[in-house]
Amino acid sequence: MSNSVKLFLFHVLNICIAIAMFSVEELGREIASLSAHLAAATHRLLECIRQFDEAVGWYEQGAVSCAHWLAWRVGAPAGVVFAQK
């Protein structure tokens, strides 16, 4: 797991702890908001990966495929990376 993902999850955890005092309605809004942020971040990540793959950036760094580069660079198992394509 990359450091940015760990930092994001740490931030989310802290927010969840802090919102323990919120109402159920406020929690629902927070869940919807976080879900939208995750969806937007996932879209951006996949777009960056697509561009990186098209530019064959992984080859320039000595990897045999974009999936293998992702497995090395962000710690995602290659099987998970293949499943996302």
- For 7, the domain range is 3-84
The structure's pTM equals: 0.62
pLDDT at 65: 92
CA distances from 44 to 2, 20, 41, 51 (A): 16, 30, 5, 11
Query: Could you read off the pLDDT of 9-67 as tens digits, one per residue?
Result: 777 777 666 556 678 888 899 899 999 999 999 999 999 999 999 999 999 999 999 98
pLDDT at 20: 62
When divided into structural domains, the chain yields a total of 1
Tell me the chain's radius of gyration from C-alpha atoms: 17
pLDDT at 78: 60
